[in-house]
């Protein structure tokens, strides 16, 4: 969109928040860049230039506006709905791959040369992978400066900078202020190891089924709903963490992160955003689904339904296998047994979380006898674990969606429902459509839609490329606890009760 100057100027002059993150406006006279909805008086059109990303604006020598904070706006949803090389690269950069493995590591994960990745990102985003990672580090530094009381040296290294000098120079150039000046403007209140922040999103957002789904299907010990917040443990590159996510009624989610290593801050934030689908564009898919006479009343009733996703694709795939052909309660029970036996223990000082979900490597030596499942399903679970542990199946942020579908479909015991459910919630494909899902079939029957999966798939072509969001509206027609915000806590019993029950 940034290439259409006329459309961009109109969006800026109308302060249209729908375009925040789609492009950034840089002002030649002030050398400042803003989001389209910035509350200041719009500059003259001849003084505006437009960039596709905050990193591109920073690379061109512009610094972030202090009023609208464009560096903190939700990113372009384009990178979350596309399966192209640039989109896969953007998702991996957000997940911290460049900071951990460098640009060569990013290229290796994508299966392209470093030069090809650089060229593609320059063409699509206006900045290379190093500049994009630098912009992400700058935003992480700002969060730590303004929300924590950590010494600046610790902030520098926690946000991914290699030296304090680079940290100081980057903060000064990106925000037009020194780190000390930024801290004076903020109100730091978090202690070391805990960071409280806001996760902005594009309005509207319907939190009921989003948080209801995560809470009701949560694995005991790994997830819980406590005091109006969804809480879960996180397995991170440098350690572990606990995320507490609370809907507020405002255009942001209140997030509190307890991290064993603050270098994981940016990764934890992006995984929480992905979990709640906060970078989605509800206006785009809402308008598309509203054109369908069957879905229009559902969209009007609760606009902004999101896809409850995951913080770990491998974890969700294993849980999906355990949940085949059983109730929600039974799936939780099977997963909880694996967690207690193979999950890494954690200490949760403010709640009842006890473990990280076990990694595929930890489950690769799993004794089949401990799985209380029929033999064929037990073998299918072990085949999935083996594919994930060996690397033959990649469900990470930068995975190729079609290749992952093909590899999933080749595994024993993995049918269309499992493939599309994993594509929807683990890969984040907004067009995934589990036509054989029981909830989808019941909703289709109630709404007068075709009853067979093949016929329903033909009918669902009208909803492309947003069939995954259509699924959320279909699910919401059912009378199931996942469709409502929990009215009471959903927590794990204490370990002593678990031991007594299993005795």
Count structural domains, the chain.
Answer: 4
Q: Are 71 and 174 in contact (CB under 8 A)?
A: yes
Q: Tell me, what CATH number does 260's domain have?
A: 3.30.310.20
Per-residue pLDDT for the chain (503 aa), expressed as one digit of tens each? Answer: 677 888 899 999 998 887 888 899 999 999 999 999 999 999 999 999 999 989 999 999 999 998 888 887 777 777 777 878 999 999 999 898 999 999 999 999 999 999 999 999 998 889 999 999 999 999 889 888 887 778 899 899 888 898 999 999 999 999 989 999 988 887 665 554 578 888 989 899 999 999 999 999 999 999 999 999 999 999 999 999 999 999 998 889 999 999 998 889 889 999 999 999 999 999 999 999 999 999 999 999 999 999 999 999 999 999 999 999 888 899 999 999 999 999 999 999 989 999 999 999 999 888 887 788 888 999 999 999 999 999 999 999 899 999 999 999 999 999 999 999 999 999 999 999 999 999 999 999 999 999 899 999 999 999 999 999 999 999 999 888 899 999 999 987 644 433 333 33
State residue 371's pLDDT score. Answer: 82
Contact indicator for 71, 32 with CB cutoff of 8 Å: no
- The answer to whether residues 395 and 460 belong to one domain is yes
**Three-state DSSP state, 374:** coil
pLDDT for res 66:
87
Please tell me whether residues 464 and 360 are part of one structural domain: yes
Candidates 175, 176, 177, 157; CA nearest to 167 is: 157
Task: Specify whether 198 is located in the same domain as 178.
Answer: no
Q: What is the DSSP letter of 204?
A: P
Two tokens, residue 443: 């909703």
Other CB atoms within a 10 A radius of the CB of residue 14 amount to: 13
Q: Is 50 within the bounds of a domain?
A: yes
Residues 6+ apart with CB under 8 A from 390: none
φ, ψ for residue 253, nearest 5 deg: -105, 130
For residue 114, the model assigns a pLDDT of 95
| Ordered DSSP codes for 5-62 | HHHHHHHHHTT-GGGBTTBEEEETTTTEEE-TT-SSPPPPGGGEEEESSHHHHHHTT-
CA-wise closest residue to 154 among 184, 185, 195:
195
Residue 422 in domain: yes
Q: DSSP 3-state assignment of 197?
A: strand
Note whether residue 299 is domain-resident: no
Domain at 324, CATH number: 1.10.340.30
Number of H helices, E strands in the chain: 24, 9
Residue for token digits 């999950």? 343
Identify the domain boundary among 253, 279, 305: 279
Q: What are the residues facing 25 on neighbouring strands?
A: 34, 50
- Two tokens, residue 227: 């005091």
Q: What per-residue confidence (pLDDT) applies to 238?
A: 92
If asked whether residues 393 and 413 sit together in one domain, one would say yes
Q: Is 498 helix (H, G, I), strand (E, B) or coil?
A: helix
Is 206 one of the annotated active-site residues of the chain? no
Verify that 168 and 209 share a domain, yes or no: no
Residue 34 lies in a domain: yes
Does residue 459 share a domain with residue 425? Answer: yes
Backbone angles phi, psi at 294, to 5 degrees: -75, -40
pLDDT number for residue 298: 96
pLDDT at 187: 67
Q: How far apart are CA 255 and CA 311, in angstroms?
A: 15
Q: Has residue 226 been placed in a domain? A: yes
Q: Do 343 and 358 touch, CB atoms closer than 8 A?
A: yes
H or E element at residue 402: helix 401-409
Choosing from 256, 279, 302, the residue where a domain stops is: 279
Q: Evaluate if pTM is beyond 0.75.
A: yes
Reported residue count of the chain is 503
What number of CA atoms fall less than 13 Å from residue 485's CA on the CB side?
A: 13
Of residues 312, 394, 429, 437, which has the active-site annotation? 437
Which two tokens mark 156? 């520098």
Residue 36's CATH number: 3.40.10.10
pLDDT value of position 226: 96
**Among candidate residues 72, 104, 127, the one where a domain is terminated:** 72
34, 65, 68, 206: which one is catalytic? 34
Q: Are residues 15 and 160 in the same domain?
A: no
The helix or strand, by DSSP H or E, that contains position 200, with its residue range, turns out to be strand 194-200
Residues 223 and 357 in one domain: no
464 plus 341 within the same structural domain: yes
- pLDDT of 502 reads 38
Contact predicate 27/51, CB 8 Å: no
Give 345's DSSP letter. Answer: B
Write the CA distances from 315 to 21, 74, 78, 331, integer angstroms: 30, 26, 25, 13
Active site (annotated) includes residue 437: yes
Residue 405 belongs to some domain of the structure: yes
Residue 287 in any domain: the answer is: no
Residues 293, 375: Cα–Cα separation, whole Å: 45
Q: Are residues 169 and 206 in the same domain?
A: no
Provide the 8-state DSSP code for 66: T
Q: Are residues 164 and 34 in the same domain?
A: no
**Structure-block tokens of residue 438:** 């029981």
* Whether residue 344 sits in one domain with residue 231: no
Question: Would residue 351 count as lying in a domain?
Answer: yes
Closest CA to 148 of 249, 239, 54, 256: 256
Angle at 243 between CA 239 and CA 247, to 5 degrees: 165
Residue 378: Cβ within 10 Å count:
18
DSSP line for 233-259: EEEETTEEEEEEEEE-SSSEEEEEEEE
Which range marks the domain in which residue 260 is found?
194-279
Determine the pLDDT at residue 385.
96
């Amino acid at each position: 969109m940034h290439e259409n100057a006329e459309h961009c100027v109109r969006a800026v002059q109308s302060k249209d928040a729908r375009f925040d993150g789609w492009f950034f406006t840089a002002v030649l006279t002030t050398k400042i860049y803003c989001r389209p909805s910035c509350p200041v008086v719009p500059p003259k059109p001849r003084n505006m230039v437009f960039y596709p990303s905050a990193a591109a604006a920073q690379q061109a020598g512009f610094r972030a506006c202090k009023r609208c904070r464009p560096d903190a706006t939700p990113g372009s949803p384009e990178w979350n709905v596309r399966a192209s090389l640039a989109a896969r690269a953007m998702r991996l950069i957000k997940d911290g791959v460049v900071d951990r493995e460098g640009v060569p590591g990013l290229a290796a994960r994508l299966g392209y040369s470093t030069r090809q990745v650089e060229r593609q990102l320059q063409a699509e985003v206006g900045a290379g992978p190093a500049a994009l990672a630098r912009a992400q580090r700058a935003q992480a530094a700002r969060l730590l400066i303004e929300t924590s009381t950590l010494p600046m040296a610790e902030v520098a290294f926690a946000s991914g900078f290699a030296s304090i000098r680079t940290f100081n120079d980057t903060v000064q150039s990106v925000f037009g202020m020194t780190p000390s000046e930024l801290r004076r403007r903020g109100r730091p209140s978090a202690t070391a190891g805990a960071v409280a922040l806001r996760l902005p999103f594009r309005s509207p957002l319907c939190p009921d089924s989003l948080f209801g789904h995560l809470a009701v299907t949560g694995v005991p010990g790994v997830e819980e709903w406590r005091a109006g917040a969804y809480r879960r443990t996180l397995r991170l590159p440098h350690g572990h963490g606990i995320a507490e996510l609370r809907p507020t009624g405002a255009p942001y989610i209140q997030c509190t992160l307890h991290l064993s290593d603050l270098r994981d801050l940016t990764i934890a934030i992006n995984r929480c955003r992905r979990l709640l689908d906060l970078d989605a564009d509800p206006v785009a898919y809402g308008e598309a689904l509203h054109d369908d006479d069957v879905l229009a009343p559902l969209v009007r009733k609760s606009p902004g339904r999101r896809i409850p996703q995951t913080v770990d694709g491998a974890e969700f795939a294993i849980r999906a296998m355990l949940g085949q052909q059983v109730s929600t309660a039974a799936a939780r029970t099977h997963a909880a047994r694996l967690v207690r036996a193979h999950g890494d223990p954690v200490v949760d000082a403010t709640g009842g979380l006890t473990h990280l979900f076990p990694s595929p490597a930890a489950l690769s030596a799993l004794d089949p006898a401990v799985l209380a499942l029929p033999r064929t399903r037990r073998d299918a679970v072990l085949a999935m674990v083996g594919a994930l542990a060996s690397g033959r199946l990649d469900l990470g942020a930068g995975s190729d969606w079609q290749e992952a579908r093909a590899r999933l479909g080749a595994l024993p015991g993995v049918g269309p429902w499992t493939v599309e459910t994993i594509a929807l919630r683990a890969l984040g494909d907004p067009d995934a459509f589990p036509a054989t899902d029981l909830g989808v079939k019941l909703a289709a029957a109630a709404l007068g839609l075709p009853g067979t999966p093949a016929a329903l798939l033909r009918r669902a072509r009208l909803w492309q490329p947003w069939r995954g969001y259509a699924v959320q509206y279909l699910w919401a027609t059912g009378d199931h606890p996942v469709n409502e915000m929990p009215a009471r806590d959903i927590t794990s019993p204490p370990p002593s009760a678990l031991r007594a029950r299993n005795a």
